[in-house]
Amino acid sequence: MTVKAGIVGWPVTHSLSPVLHGYWLKKYGIDGAFEKVGAEPGQFETVIAKLRDQGFIGVNVTVPHKESAFALADKVDAAAKAAGAANLLIFGPGHIEGRNTDTYGLARSLEESIGALKGDTAVLLGAGGAARGAVLALEAAGAGTIHILNRDGSRAQNLAAALTPNVNARLVPGTLTDWKNVAPGAALLVNSTSAGMTGNPPLDLDLSALPQSAAVCDIVYKPLETQLLKDAAARGHKTIDGLGMLMHQAVPSFEAFFGKRPQVDAGLRAALEGALYGR
């Protein structure tokens, strides 16, 4: 019998998850299906109930429903609890399990690209939902200090206060005006905002204060090379695009849905780049 899973969000038409999971389903010869499912704001619980009735084994969850998914789950894993958000729901008999694989995805992408941070300083731009998982990922990657910079400094302060009990790294909240002061000591810059995403204005950030040895990561993958990454590459920085996080965060989801631990490989990246560029 075909195992059914999907991705729920609004809008959801842009999602690459069906391409990603479809690649693995074909590669491993699994009888499964992965569908895009739209859920307008306020309709999330109704949509989830319908999918359970239709025999779905579970779903990934994307914006703007990750906090709703967390609230809907009967039990959650440690990553979801720490982030206050779930991007994976597993439908069990009489219960829903919520997990957060975003943290794992970013941590693995960073490890694959630059190795462990070994107590180094990281600067994180943003204080929204994506930033929560990014803080936990930076901790997992070995950051000793994480500067959280946001246009609204109070949001950065609230995020630092909420996550400090869950991490060993030192969390230092601030505003974007603090950038030039903290950049010289950074080994890694991570953008967790939507600035630079297709349809949004680019991130206006002067990278001249960043050490040449520092890496720059953008979790955005549409476009694959944001203006931030172009500017960083022009200055000789190691750059990390958002496709790595996308691929790695899907690994535990695929295993939960279809019972096989998949491998992230060059073929998967080529398939996703082909979907992005219409090839």
**Rounded CA separation 10/4 (Å):** 20
Q: Is 128 exposed, middle or buried (0-12, 13-18, 19+ CB in 10 A)?
A: middle
What six digits make up the tokens of 89? 């729901």
Selecting among 26, 27, 50, 66, the annotated active-site residue is 66
One-letter amino acid of 176: L
What six digits make up the tokens of 33? 């299906």
Active-site annotation holds for 260: no
Any idea what DSSP says for residue 118? T
Half-sphere exposure of 269 (CA within 13 A, CB side): 11
H or E segment and range at residue 8: strand 3-9
H or E segment and range at residue 103: helix 102-114
The vertex-128 CA angle with 174 and 276, nearest 5°, equals: 120
What six digits make up the tokens of 65? 């429903």
Map residue 125 onto helix, strand or coil.
Answer: strand
> Using an 8 Å Cβ cutoff, are 257 and 32 in contact?
yes
**What is each CA distance from 125 to 43, 204, 216, in whole angstroms?**
31, 12, 11
**Rounded CA separation 129/234 (Å):** 30
Q: Give the residue numbers annotated as catalytic, written as ranges.
A: 66
